[in-house]
Amino acid sequence: MYVPEYSTWKPKDDYVEQAMWERIALTNATVILFWVPRKLPDMAAFTTNVEFGYWLHSGKVIYGRPNDASKIKYLDWLYKSDYGKSPYEGLKSLLESSIELVNNLYDG
C-alpha cells in the first residue's frame, strides 16, 4: 500500500521528486482510492480533482466522499458516468470495498 504522505511530515525539498514518487506508486497500484472530504476554505484539495480525472480511465479508481463535502458534484457525475456506481458516502464502507476489490482481483 502506498500512502502519499510524508513519513516524517516534512515535505521533500524537490517537488518533482515527490510528484514522480506519487505517479510511480499510482501506476503500480492495483486500486486507487479517492476519499474527498473537501471543506472550503480549509481543505480545498484541488490537486485531487486533477489526479481523479487523470486516473479515472485506468479502471482502478474507487471513490467516496462524505455527504457534506463541498464542490464534488462533477466528481460524482464522472464516477457514475464511467463506473456506473454512486460514490461511497462513508470512509469505512469505501475502505472495505477497496479491500474486497483487491481480493477479488487477486483471487479471480
| Radius of gyration (C-alpha) of the chain in whole angstroms | 14
- Based on the number of CB atoms within 10 Å of its own CB, is 50 exposed (0-12), middle (13-18) or buried (19 or more)? exposed
Structure confidence by residue, pLDDT tens digits, 37-71: 999 998 888 889 999 999 999 999 999 999 999 99
User: Does a structural domain hold residue 76?
Assistant: yes
Specify the number of domains making up the chain.
1
Could you tell me the pTM of the whole model?
A: 0.84
- Average pLDDT estimate for 88-108: 90
Question: Three-state SS for 33?
Answer: strand
Banded model confidence at residue 6, pLDDT cuts 50, 70, 90:
low
User: Does a structural domain hold residue 15?
Assistant: no
User: Does a structural domain hold residue 8?
Assistant: no
User: Does a structural domain hold residue 72?
Assistant: yes
User: Does a structural domain hold residue 84?
Assistant: yes
Containing domain of residue 100, as a range?
31-107
pLDDT, residue 25, reads 87
pLDDT, residue 8, reads 65
User: Does a structural domain hold residue 10?
Assistant: no
pLDDT, residue 104, reads 86
